[in-house]
Chains A and B, each alone.
Chain A
Amino acid sequence: MPKANEIKHRIGAVEETRKITNAMQLVATARAKKVIPKMEYNRNFMTQVQSVMKDLLLSPHLADHPYLTWKSHQRRTYIVISADKGMAGSYNSAVLNFAWREISAKVHCREDMHLISVGVMGDSFFRARGIVPDHSFGGATQDPSLYNARQLALEIMEYYDHKETDQVFIIFTPYQNGAAGKPTIHRLLPIRISDFTDIEAADTPHEIMYHPAEKWVFNLLVPQFVVGYIFGAMMHSYASEHTARMTAMQSATRNADEMLERLHLDYNLARQAAVTQEIAEISSALFV
């Protein structure tokens, strides 16, 4: 049985930790709440952009456009969105292990792959496995802003335009029904009409005028689409990260509460035992 003041010391330590986990839970809740309403606007924006894109894809002038063509040589670029810090339950390990499985299954040669890591955790995860990300956006996950999305989009559009890569994928954690969903992978480029099957096109696509020309419009529309998608993925990941952290911290706080209860009991027992022992010692000394 440990001494009473040892237990008291431990109670103090657990109480401190509990304060921290509780505060982290509150912060995570507030952050998740801030971004969730914005996601609706982005979804709306993306649906509209996709519908314009579908109209355009139905026009015959774009058949051999580089953003649409499927090449036999498949050099891939992966964008992996994770968090900047842990303490979010399985959020980081889920998305990173998913990315790792995907990459090890599809990529056989390091030279054929570009890896862009958003989030410090992803960066160190891949470095530990011997892959140094070509580009690392640390800090971008703390602030899912359009500016950050645009920087990232510029980077990959440049890879693609300079023919350094043939396919671009983004791996992130969607936010579904108020919780972090399963990590998913989405192809950003090249674009295929089959990606838009659930999007409604205009009633009369052949009537639409494209000014100055289809190709011009398409060249400008694709970057908008990519920026919008990346921004959406960043917001989804941000919301997922903070909900995951919220849940993790909630259970940590609950565990701390349980532990405190047990420790208080132990402390009282130990104190009682000490008192009893002292009385026993004193009273036994009386009869000597």
Chain B
Amino acid sequence: MPTPFQLDILTPEHSFFSGKAEGVVVITPDGEIGVQAHHAPLVTPVEIGTIRLLVDGQWKEAFISEGFMEVQHDRTVIFTQACEWPENIDVLRAEATMQRSQEQLRQQLSIREHKTSQIALARAMARLRVTREQNLHLK
């Protein structure tokens, strides 16, 4: 079993995870990065998508919004705008957001509105993906 290390996942609203983990996999602009204990110090952006944590030998998945990962010698901190376990995701809301932002993207909007809709769409899709994967595991 891999050595556990201190992992903290923080959002401006709450502390999503704080404790020992054996591994964590996030999506960065260059693809997925996995971190285990004694990883070299690293700072990298985290993209909207799924985060996987290995806690007590069990892989867990959660939704993560855009943010950062800071790997230090003895601990790893991930800051993000939002992070949710699949069971806490409001599927109906995510679906509604997805449809609304797709609709907005079809219209001719200002660059800023376009960007906002794009991010909203990516978040909604990532949320839905996490819940769908969770349902597959249960079946």
A interface residue numbers (CB < 8 A to B): 38, 41-42, 44-46, 48-49, 52, 55-56, 146, 149-150, 154, 158, 202-204, 207-212, 216-217, 220-221, 224, 227-228, 231-232
A146 and B12 contacting across the interface, CB-CB below 8 Å: yes
Residues of A within 8 A of B70 (CB): 48, 52
Shortest Cβ gap from B33 to chain A (Å): 8
Separation of A56 and B42 alpha carbons in the complex (Å): 11
Known: A209-B42, A211-B28, A212-B30. 12 other contacts (CB 8 A): A38-B13, A42-B13, A46-B12, A48-B8, A49-B79, A146-B81, A154-B112, A212-B29, A216-B29, A216-B45, A220-B45, A220-B68
For chain B, the count of residues having a C-beta within 8 Å of the partner chain is 30
- In the complex, B77 has a CB within 8 A of chain A: yes
Separation of A209 and B70 alpha carbons in the complex (Å): 10
B15 and A44 contacting across the interface, CB-CB below 8 Å: yes
Given known contacts A221-B68, A224-B67, A224-B68, A208 and B42 CB-to-CB distance under 8 angstroms: yes
- In the complex, B11 has a CB within 8 A of chain A: yes
Q: Nearest 5 pairs between A and B by C-beta?
A: A211-B44, A208-B41, A45-B10, A209-B42, A220-B45
B interface residue numbers (CB < 8 A to A): 8, 10-15, 28-30, 33, 40-45, 66-68, 70, 72-73, 77, 79, 81-82, 112, 115-116
- Which residue of chain B lies nearest to A214 when distances are taken between CB atoms in the complex? B43
Given known contacts A44-B15, A45-B10, A150-B81, A210 and B68 CB-to-CB distance under 8 angstroms: no
A42 and B12 contacting across the interface, CB-CB below 8 Å: yes
B12 interface neighbour in A45, A204, A210, A216, Cβ under 8 Å:
A45
Separation of A265 and B67 alpha carbons in the complex (Å): 66
